[in-house]
Amino acid sequence: MSPAAEPEPEAEVGGPFAAMDQETAANPQPMFKMLREATPVMAIDGVGVVLSGRAEIDEALRHPELFSSNMSAVELGNIRPLIPLQIDPPDHKKYRRILDPIFAPRQMALLEEPVSKLVNDLIDGFVERGEVDFAAEFSVPFPSQVFLTLLGLPLDELPTFLAMKDGIIRPDQVTGEARDSAAAVAHQRATAASIYAYFEDVLDQRQVERRDDILSVFLDSEVEGHQLTREEILDICFLFLIAGLDTVTATLDCMFSYLAQHPDQRQRIVDDPSIIPTVVEELLRWETPVMGVVRVALEDTELGGCPVHKGDQVMVLLGSANTDEAEFGDAEDVRFDREINRHIAFGGGVHRCLGSHLARQELRIALREWHRRIPEYAVRSGTTLEYTGGIRSIERFPMVFTASS
């Protein structure tokens, strides 16, 4: 589950980067460098305060009492704050104490077999053809299928989940109208209502009969006498749906796009799959699929000598922090042998991605099984991959490949 929002790398949906040009969306690192060199903290009329320096970004992420992620930062049609992303301390700690053990590395390791099967079942569907739309046939369905598996729901619910996700994250594309248009806003709100209704029905079923799934765990979880209420579970599920699908899809798009265009790097994975964990971390750092997250200033303050006023939107550029030379002396080198990698692709501070362990598990298994079966692949000749802004997914990703014998 970004990956991300707390279940994934935290997603800033829309914002100043949603309409960036294709060249910048595909290759944002030069833009990040330009911003850092101009000023690591920049006030922009109509946008707010943009943070591009690692030190200033760390400062903002570590002080939720000054820079909040509540609903005034990002509103997605939800009627209550999304848990735990839009809940600040001290209540945030209460929810994390319940949820962190559920998404701990040991628990996520139990998904090894079912997630591997999902990957291989998807590959089976196109491996004989020697070509595939990677987005349509792999990166989009895969994380949604993992999510359905976690919830104990049938895989044929996939179209419903994708429609709900897109209705929240991309109402403009669904309706063909501007994001702030009445039609797009109405569609987003209607989709939000359908999400609450959907999970109400599923929770009614689990209330009668528990199953071996995460919803049943939510119903029975308790820490220091606090048990999750029905509304709290709904608010968690809402966040998981919108955060746990799109960000992993975008991460897969970014990683496989890089590898398809760097065959020498790809061959290193084929020759030595044991490096995949460090490959995942380095490509999360370099590509940073979720370029930025939003905070809102709760009081007058300053960052890096720049005034920040109460109510200001603060855009935190995770991608810039991950390519800041002050943190990574060789920031522009993509190194699969990087031993120390303090990237913040999953955010930072108390709101660091709840689902980061799940996302890593999905990405590692996908890379391992794909390169075991499809060691050679490339973007189809004559194709220019077009990235979306904000969350760097690729809507059409035609790929040609040679499968292993």
Across the range 114-125, mean pLDDT stands at 98
The reported pLDDT for the residue numbered 6 is: 41
User: In terms of pLDDT, which residue wins out, 14 or 356?
Assistant: 356
As a whole number of angstroms, the distance between CA 61 and CA 41 comes to 14
| Cβ neighbours of 113 (radius 10 Å) | 9
Q: Does residue 7 carry a pLDDT above 70?
A: no
Q: What is the pLDDT of residues 367-400, one digit of tens each?
A: 999 999 999 999 999 999 999 887 899 999 999 9
The Cα-based distances of 225 to 157, 222, 242, 347, 354 in angstroms read: 35, 6, 29, 30, 22
Q: What is the pLDDT of residues 62-111, one digit of tens each?
A: 999 999 999 887 888 999 999 999 999 999 998 999 999 999 999 999 99
Q: Are strands 222-223 and 226-227 parallel, antiparallel or unpaired?
A: antiparallel
Q: Does residue 4 carry a pLDDT above 70?
A: no
Across the range 118-125, mean pLDDT stands at 98
Across the range 176-195, mean pLDDT stands at 93
As a whole number of angstroms, the distance between CA 251 and CA 363 comes to 8
Q: Give the start-to-end residue ranges of the domains of the chain.
A: 22-156+244-402
As a whole number of angstroms, the distance between CA 140 and CA 250 comes to 8
Query: Model confidence at 13, in pLDDT bands (50, 70, 90)?
Result: very low
- When mean pLDDT is compared across 140-144, 240-244, 310-314, the lowest value belongs to 240-244
Across the range 292-315, mean pLDDT stands at 94
Query: Can you name the CATH fold of 22-156+244-402?
Result: Cytochrome p450 (1.10.630)
Q: Are strands 313-317 and 48-51 parallel, antiparallel or unpaired?
A: parallel
Query: Model confidence at 19, in pLDDT bands (50, 70, 90)?
Result: low
Q: Does residue 15 carry a pLDDT above 60?
A: no
Q: What is the pLDDT of residues 212-271, one digit of tens each?
A: 999 999 999 887 788 899 999 999 999 988 887 889 999 999 999 999 999 999 999 999
As a whole number of angstroms, the distance between CA 300 and CA 309 comes to 4
pTM of the model: 0.93
Query: Model confidence at 45, in pLDDT bands (50, 70, 90)?
Result: confident
The reported pLDDT for the residue numbered 16 is: 53
